[in-house]
Amino acid sequence: MYKNKKPVFFFLFPAFLFLALYLFYPFLRNILNSFQIIKDLGAPAKGWNDPIYKNYAKLFTDKNMGIAMKNTLIMIVVTLLGQVGIALVLSLMVDNIKRGAKFFRIVYFFPIVVSATALGLLFNLIFLYDKGMLNQFLEMFGATKLTDWKDSAHAMVTMMVPVMWQYVGFYFIILLTGLNNISDELYESAAIDGATTWQKVRYISLPLLHNVICTCSILAVTGALKVFDLPWVMLPNGMPMGETWLTGTYMYYWAFQGKDIDYSCTVAIVIVILGIILSKVVNMIFREKDY
């Protein structure tokens, strides 16, 4: 396309250098650290693990890592259905609104601009056992027994609801933008041919949103793998009794509280590998097909 390639490389080099310093090098260093003995953050390695694959073998015997993997897979399903799914429905509804669409965009996007720490504290107040807003609301409708929303039976749902709620607006904006880029002439032609609203969605909106939905799904999957801030504020240290660990929170625990940097690096590598594999799976599911 360009006869002289030098200017292209000149402008690409700063971005490549930035990625090399802050992405590729840390990742390669992370792999090296997972084979070494590093117990404190910033401390030098005290040697190599014996055997060298010790941390990777530990992954298969670590009960909490198994819990974190299971909960993270559940979180992935919840984010796909609860975030992308709800966002898709909302975007399709708002796209058909002639007046007030801007209002809904602001309302649904608002949770994204609020920090996860603030949201975690907010939902902690909502789910408090005593004097929590949700329990008080249920008492107004005749509930005689207070519910502990952070016990073993409810903790996972308590953690997932705010995570799901926070990012619906993010995917809503992406999907709505995709819908706005679809030509109105297609819908007008379909209306002339007698197509119903569902038929317009089925045969026009969804096929043309194919790549956008795929992108949102990949973002949701990779986001669920590394989600940390909101779950940690609400349920730190996997409470209750280590039942709500996620891969992101478990990695953080070993790095900053468990004083086992090399094992934390191992968990981080697992997160990256899972992200790559699941992204490929989503791409395979959403590969181009005839509608």
Cα distance between residue 176 and residue 168, in whole Å: 12
Domain ranges of the chain: 74-285
- pLDDT bucket at 98, cuts 50 / 70 / 90: confident
Give the per-residue pLDDT at 95: 87
Element (H, E) at 43: none
Residue 22 in contact with residue 247, Cβ under 8 Å? no
Q: List CB contacts of 93: < 8 A, sequence separation 6 or more.
A: none
pLDDT at 146 > cutoff 60: yes
Residues 164-167: contacts with CB under 8 Å, at least 24 apart: 164/78, 164/79, 164/82, 164/83, 164/86, 165/111, 166/111, 166/112, 166/114, 166/116, 166/119, 166/230, 167/79, 167/83, 167/111, 167/112, 167/220, 167/223
Render pLDDT for 4-14 as a digit per residue (tens, 0 to 9).
677 778 888 88
Render pLDDT for 220-266 as a digit per residue (tens, 0 to 9).
999 999 899 999 999 999 988 889 999 999 999 999 998 899 999 99
CATH of the domain spanning 74-285: 1.10.3720.10
What is the reported pTM? Answer: 0.88
Q: What is the gyration radius of the CA atoms in the chain, in angstroms?
A: 23
